[in-house]
Amino acid sequence: MMFVSNLTRIIDIMTTNKYESFLNKFNEPDWLETLEKLLPAIHAVDRNAVQIWFRFYPLALFRYLQNADDKAVAVQKFVMQGKYELKDQIDSSHEFLYGHRFWTTIKNEIVRRAESFDDGNADLTEEIKRIAKAAADQSKTTESLTIGIVAVGLMTLTQTGFDAFKNAPGAAKQPTGLMKKSPDQIVGNRAKDDSQGLLGFLKTINKEWTVRYDETAAGGKFKLMNDEEIASGAARDQSQNWLEKDARCGEGVIPVECRSAACGTCWIGILEGAEKLSDVGVRERKQMKIFGYNQPDDAKPILRLACQAKANGAVSIVIPPWNGVFGKKIYGNVEDVELEPATTSAAKLRETIATATENN
Ligand code: FES
């Protein structure tokens, strides 16, 4: 009996290693390309969310830290703060996706597939679709609602390893707030502009807009004045003890330090309403590269700095649980780093960033 049990375990290890080996063949550009191919098949409710998630948890950064001689030193050099590791949030990093509600089934399907996998030449796109179909059939839903969360699940497995992934409880948070509605209703309500009253069309400077920062909570929103930076509106909302929830949140629900695009603390994902934000300026664009945040190359991208983006309408955002400065080291995409003159009192922070972006 003992022999059978040990044999089963050895076979288990051999087969699961095959799946991890398969997933480890793909690098960050491969994943982003795969995602691009899958986007048309993903329901609008999760189309931006899944792209944001993949930029919140960059594979290149994970691999760099995994292979660093001294990870603690690397983390310090990158000025990383908050929860950046997926191993600490296997079941929760994706709560902002509609597909999160299917997580228990998705995780079980991924584990099942990993344990029986025997095709090292499988195609990543087809692999995601295959698991998404099985999970959708089990959950009595459509693949358009499971493809995104399956991609997230496979990347989570890649960054946590099979054993940790399998052993996570696999619990999914019950939908609350706006997330209780149907996918189409969520899309319709997500960034609906606020009524400005009967004579609203006459208002010029005193319009107010809602910024949703947590679609799973009924109260997960704050107000913003027209053409105001998102971080400024967030700082006025003192309805909760933000610091108690996240040590980075000294001023409001969005962590901020410099307010001048110099530190990278305030990055956010835009679930809906990116077109109602001011265009990315030269400085924000350049700084995003320095920070390492993989901002798509659009005038109104889905990744922004909350201290720079001004809104002229309602938007729905998601706040990442960490921040850092790793662009030069990880992507090599920064030629010269010119830190701004003293536009912020955070001189110490600028010094740290200078260290994080130096050549060696
Ligand atoms: S608060 Fe420093 S970049 Fe926005």
* pLDDT recorded at residue 284: 96
Separation in Å, CA 284 to CA 63, 65, 278: 26, 26, 11
Over 50: is that where the pLDDT of 227 sits?
yes
Kindly state the tokens that stand for 28.
């960050």
CB 136 within 8 A of CB 143: yes
Considering the chain, what percentage of its residues have pLDDT values greater than 90?
80
CB burial readout 184-209, b (16+ within 10 A) else e? eebbeebbeeeeeeeeeeeeeeebeb
* pLDDT recorded at residue 193: 87
Mean pLDDT of 204-233: 91
Over 80: is that where the pLDDT of 104 sits?
yes
CB 79 within 8 A of CB 356: yes
Q: Is the CB of 251 under 6 A from ligand 1?
A: no
Kindly state the tokens that stand for 232.
């400024």
Mean pLDDT of 293-310: 95
Among 266, 250, 253, 159, smallest CA distance to 212 is for: 253
- HEC states along 286-345? HHHHHHCCCCCCCCCCCEEECCCCEECCCEEEECCCEECCCHHHHHCCCCCCCCCCCCCC
Considering the chain, what percentage of its residues have pLDDT values greater than 70?
85
Over 80: is that where the pLDDT of 7 sits?
no
Among 10, 36, 80, smallest CA distance to 329 is for: 80
Q: Is the CB of 258 under 6 A from ligand 1?
A: yes
The pLDDT tens digits of the residues spanning 337-357 come to 554 443 343 445 555 555 555
* pLDDT recorded at residue 90: 98
Kindly state the tokens that stand for 137.
């059939």
Kindly state the tokens that stand for 197.
């009253």
Going by DSSP bridges, is the β-strand pair 315-318/208-212 parallel, antiparallel, or unpaired?
parallel
Over 60: is that where the pLDDT of 1 sits?
no
Beta partners for 82? Answer: 322
Distance of alpha carbon 338 from alpha carbon 290, whole angstroms: 10
Mean pLDDT of 112-141: 96
Size of the chain in residues: 360
Q: Is the CB of 265 under 6 A from ligand 1?
A: yes
Q: Is the CB of 65 under 6 A from ligand 1?
A: no
The pLDDT tens digits of the residues spanning 248-288 come to 999 999 999 999 999 999 999 999 999 999 999 999 999 99
DSSP 121-136: T--HHHHHHHHHHHHH
* pLDDT recorded at residue 197: 65
Q: Is the CB of 268 under 6 A from ligand 1?
A: no
Q: Is the CB of 263 under 6 A from ligand 1?
A: yes
Among 179, 117, 193, 111, smallest CA distance to 145 is for: 179
Higher-pLDDT residue of 190, 156: 156
Local confidence band at 37 (pLDDT 50, 70, 90 cut-offs): very high
* pLDDT recorded at residue 332: 86
pTM listed for this prediction: 0.88
Mean pLDDT of 313-322: 97
Closest residue (by CA) to atom 3 of ligand 1? 261
Over 50: is that where the pLDDT of 333 sits?
yes
Going by DSSP bridges, is the β-strand pair 303-305/267-272 parallel, antiparallel, or unpaired?
antiparallel
Ligand 1 atom closest to the CA of 255, numbered from 1: 1
Q: Is the CB of 257 under 6 A from ligand 1?
A: yes
Distance of alpha carbon 295 from alpha carbon 300, whole angstroms: 10
Local confidence band at 200 (pLDDT 50, 70, 90 cut-offs): low
Distance of alpha carbon 27 from alpha carbon 251, whole angstroms: 37
* pLDDT recorded at residue 3: 45
Local confidence band at 15 (pLDDT 50, 70, 90 cut-offs): very low
Average pLDDT across the chain, whole number: 89
Kindly state the tokens that stand for 220.
């997960």
CB 270 within 8 A of CB 299: no
Mean pLDDT of 44-71: 97
Locate tokens 């480890």: which residue?
24
Ligand 1 atom closest to the CA of 263, numbered from 1: 2
**191-356 has which fold?**
Ubiquitin-like (UB roll) (3.10.20)
* pLDDT recorded at residue 235: 95
Local confidence band at 205 (pLDDT 50, 70, 90 cut-offs): low
Ordered by start, the domain boundaries in the chain are 2-172, 191-356
Local confidence band at 218 (pLDDT 50, 70, 90 cut-offs): confident
* pLDDT recorded at residue 192: 85
DSSP 111-173: HHHHHH---TT--HHHHHHHHHHHHHHHHTS-GGGTHHHHHHHHHHHHHH-HHHHHHS----P
